[in-house]
Amino acid sequence: MADESTARITVLGATGGTGRQVVAQALAAGHRVTALVRDPARMPLVHDRLDVVRMPVPDPGALRALLGRTDAVVSGLAATAKGGSPATVWTGAVLAALADRPDTRLVAVSAAPVGPHPQGSSPFHRFVLSPLVGLVFRDAYRDLERMEAALSAGGAAWTVVRPPRLTDDPGTGGYRLVVGGNVPSGYRIGRADLAHALLRVLDDPATVRRAVGVAY
């Protein structure tokens, strides 16, 4: 990625709880941010280094032109129980747009249940809570699994970040990261700290083409 003071970051899902935090923190760090949104009226932030682009569905030509001027892409599209495949669809479009720019960093939110059970997880969590959550968010996790498979099959410099339950806790920076697995006994994380982790891994070569667990 470019020097932190001049990096150009495109954010997907920029009006969601995590996406807004990514935009705000990226701006505070001195980045130039482009927010891709369905409805610009839902973006409350205004800044001279923020460009808001309306794109309700992926536009291949516009996306290719936009990402040709981008140093990194951060997807804040999170798991929901509403069905559909937003993560898979958007990630596929981004991968196609970045086909000629394999060094552009691409960081995407996934979910802890998509990854392995962390070491030391309790029987209740492994055999009761985890299956129950998986049932409720079945379609969302299938979407994220397909997204991760598409990333693994592509040539991009990607990282997926797998949080557990998201909260509105204020950012503390006191979270844990596990490259290649989930965080032991990590059952929640605030959206502000998740956003911090998404931006943090952009410049960490150890996370390229890896999944990263994050939690308190």
Q: Which residue has the tokens 């949104």?
A: 37
Q: What is the pLDDT of residues 116-133, one digit of tens each?
A: 766 666 665 565 456 556
What is the CA angle 36-40-42, rounded to 5? 105
What average pLDDT score do residues 17-37 get?
97
Residue range 8-215 forms a domain whose CATH class is alpha beta
The Cα 23–Cα 14 span in angstroms is 7
pLDDT of residue 3: 52
pLDDT of residue 142: 92
Q: What is the pLDDT of residues 123-173, one digit of tens each?
A: 655 654 565 565 556 788 999 999 999 999 999 999 999 999 999 999 999
* Range list of H helices, the chain: 17-28, 60-67, 86-97, 123-124, 130-136, 138-153, 191-200
Residue length of the chain: 216
**What average pLDDT does the structure give for the chain?**
90
The Cα 35–Cα 113 span in angstroms is 28
